[in-house]
Amino acid sequence: MLQRDVVSDEQIVSVYKSQTFPTTGYGIAHNLKPELQEQIQEAFFTFDWKGSELEEEFSKSGEAQFIPITFKEHWEVIRKIDDANGVEYNCR
C-alpha cells in the first residue's frame, strides 16, 4: 500500500507481523485426468510474467511467479490466526 501511495508511512502502526504466506492460491479439481492436471500446472509454472499486469502488481513484493503450495504447509499461519480469533468457516 505504501508503494502504491494508498497510505503514507506516518499512517501505519504495526501491532503484529506474521510470517509470510501466499496471498492467493489456485487449485486443480481432484477428478480431472492426471494428464490434464499436469497440463494446467505446466501452464501456471511456465507463464511468462514479463510485461503483464500480474508482473506489475506482484513484482513489487518480489512475488512475480507462480509457485507450488500446500494448504497444510503454506497456510498454517492463517489457520493459527483464525484459531486465535475464533474464526469459523461455514463450508457446505
Q: What is the pLDDT of residues 51-74, one digit of tens each?
A: 988 888 888 777 778 888 888 898
Picking from 54, 48, 57, 41, the residue whose alpha carbon sits closest to that of residue 3 is 57
Name the band, by pLDDT with cuts 50, 70 and 90, for residue 20.
Answer: confident
Q: How far apart are CA 27 and CA 41, in angstroms?
A: 9
In whole angstroms, how large is the CA radius of gyration of the chain? 17
Reading the block at residue 41, the C-alpha cell is: 500446472
Instruction: Give the number of other CB atoms < 10 A from CB of residue 54.
Output: 14
Q: What is the pLDDT of residues 45-56, one digit of tens each?
A: 999 988 988 888
